[in-house]
Amino acid sequence: MEYFIKALKQYADFNGRSTRKEYWMFYLFYFIFYIVLTVVDTVIGAPVFSTIFALGLFVPTISVGARRLHDTGRSGWWQLILLVPLIGAIVLIVFFVKDSHDDNKFGPNPKAVGGV
């Protein structure tokens, strides 16, 4: 949960780097909360809560993705590859799964400076 809160605190910080664990733990909690809210929306019959949740976390989701790409040595603009159907999502997932690079132009390796 601490990774989810950390990403929310850095909601508009597109600089720096995020470790794999930080990125995937954010998405795990995002997915859990989204499923719960979707169930609530199904019960009430309108997609209200899940839509508000997704819109409210749009910027933090993009920023944590950009920081994760920075950790692999790529620009955050690579997220636009999602606009390419199917292939874009596969390529982006491969980028997100790659291990951290040493110090690069986006900052020091977060694992080496006390990250997890």
In three-state form (DSSP H/G/I as H, E/B as E, the rest C), the secondary structure along 56-96 is HCHHHHHHHHHHHHHHCCCCHHHHHHHHCCCHHHHHHHHHH
Higher pLDDT, 109 or 85: 85
Tell me the CA distances in angstroms from 10 to 5, 23, 48, 61, 89, one per residue in order: 9, 12, 25, 10, 24
Question: Model's pTM, two decimal places?
Answer: 0.85
Quote the CA–CA distance of 42 and 45 in Å, as a whole number: 5
On the question of pLDDT at 115 being above 60, the answer is no
Q: What is the pLDDT of residues 50-103, one digit of tens each?
A: 999 999 999 999 999 999 999 998 999 999 999 999 999 999 999 999 888 788
Q: What is the pLDDT of residues 4-40, one digit of tens each?
A: 998 888 888 899 898 899 999 999 999 999 999 999 9
